[in-house]
Amino acid sequence: MIGHSCAHCGTRFLAPRLVCPNCRHEVTQLTQHIFPTLQVQASADAQEPASVVTVIIPSYDAAATIQATLSSIVAQDFDEPYEVFVVDSSSDETPAIIAQEFPQVHLIHREKKTDPGTARNLAIARACGEIIACLDADCVAPTEWLQRMVAAQRAGHPIVGGGIENGNPEKILAWASFLGEFREFIAVGKPRLMRHLPTCNISYQRSIFSRFGGFPTSFYPQEDLLFHWRLEQQGVPIWFEPDIQVKHIHRAEWRPYLQHQRRIGHITAQVLELTGEEGAFLARSPLLALLAIPFLPLVKFLRTVSHFASWRPGVIRQHWPALPFLLLGLYAWSIGFVAGAWDDPLRESLSPLTVEQSVSQ
């Protein structure tokens, strides 16, 4: 993408960017490569009762958690009709658990491992609900979750997300993961606008996907960050209700924990390169990113500790043994960040296809 030109103002720029640095218009050719078109249903099937909400859960090898997740969803204290989709690409017992114990759930099974963005897009294309609520297969929602989501949507918020709590607090690595990944989304403070919220606890008006397409499919686990950045650029507000909470079960073994942190760092660098947000100067300068490896984890560590000390000081006091493991995870994150800075952020992006076209290939 070196030497790319903005079709709107003619400005040429070196790095791949989704927005022109001069006129701030979207670079259409690039956004079409990243955000797939969705053929969203216009209305519910006349043969079926209309669903107010469609709950979507992407799943991969979630046999250890999917029962608790789905049990929490089918037991919602919600009087209006809702449907549940699980898009699963597991090689374990997950699909059998769903089929045997939750026959009311719509199961879309994929033979090949499927990223969460693609999984959500597949279900959105089939959804009947006017509200799309997203949960992950390692999360548990309280019985009032849907009720609160819908109430906030009907108050005029097109996107609503909530707070994240640690779902396996007995594990020290779970606390390290929680501290590192969800510091900005803990259930504290007043309802407010946010630039981004994670897709493990969020809902959208279905029209959002008709207007802006689906989630990017090659930026896991930051596909939601990139999608929400685009919505913010288009003036779509994201509303945070701290009381709409879910419990997230975190990675609690060394290898998965460090691998995931490295993956987050890798994709974060690629997202920053495309968006130009804070830290983009490092993502666009691989040598600088390499030189910053000793310092990046320390900066993120101090920010994290400071944030919890201000908003939830009891967490640091009670779970301080997790702090060394948090720092180690941040070093893995930084190594991934450097790798992402050297990598082309558009290398694996799809050409502009609809979801149904991409599935058929």
Question: Is the pLDDT at 28 greater than 50, yes or no?
Answer: yes
Output the pLDDT for position 41. 74
Output the pLDDT for position 349. 57
Q: How confident is the model at residue 352 (pLDDT cuts 50, 70, 90)?
A: very low
Q: Distance (Å, rounded) from C-alpha 108 to C-alpha 85?
A: 7
| pLDDT tens by residue, 44-75 | 444 455 789 999 999 999 999 999 999 999 99
Output the pLDDT for position 77. 98
Question: Is the pLDDT at 335 greater than 60, yes or no?
Answer: yes
* Cα 310 from chain centroid (whole Å): 25
| pLDDT, mean of residues 142-170 | 98
DSSP 85-101: EEEE--SSSHHHHHHHH
Output the pLDDT for position 356. 45
| pLDDT, mean of residues 230-253 | 96
| pLDDT tens by residue, 173-190 | 999 999 999 999 999 999
Question: Is the pLDDT at 106 greater than 80, yes or no?
Answer: yes
| pLDDT, mean of residues 294-313 | 97
Question: Is the pLDDT at 359 greater than 80, yes or no?
Answer: no
| pLDDT tens by residue, 199-216 | 999 999 999 999 999 999
Q: Higher confidence at residue 348 or residue 284?
A: 284
Helix pair 323-342, 296-311: axis angle to 10 deg: 130
Q: How confident is the model at residue 318 (pLDDT cuts 50, 70, 90)?
A: very high
Question: Is the pLDDT at 30 greater than 90, yes or no?
Answer: no
Output the pLDDT for position 348. 63
Question: Is the pLDDT at 43 greater than 70, yes or no?
Answer: no
**42 vs 38, 85, 131, CA distance in Å?**
12, 18, 13
Please give the domain boundaries of the chain with CATH numbers for all domains. Answer: 1-34 (no CATH), 53-256 (3.90.550.10)
**167 vs 37, 101, 138, 246, CA distance in Å?**
34, 22, 9, 8
Q: How confident is the model at residue 347 (pLDDT cuts 50, 70, 90)?
A: confident
CA angle 236, 182, 203 (to 5 degrees): 35
Q: Is 45 left (phi over 0), alpha (psi -120 to 50) or beta?
A: beta
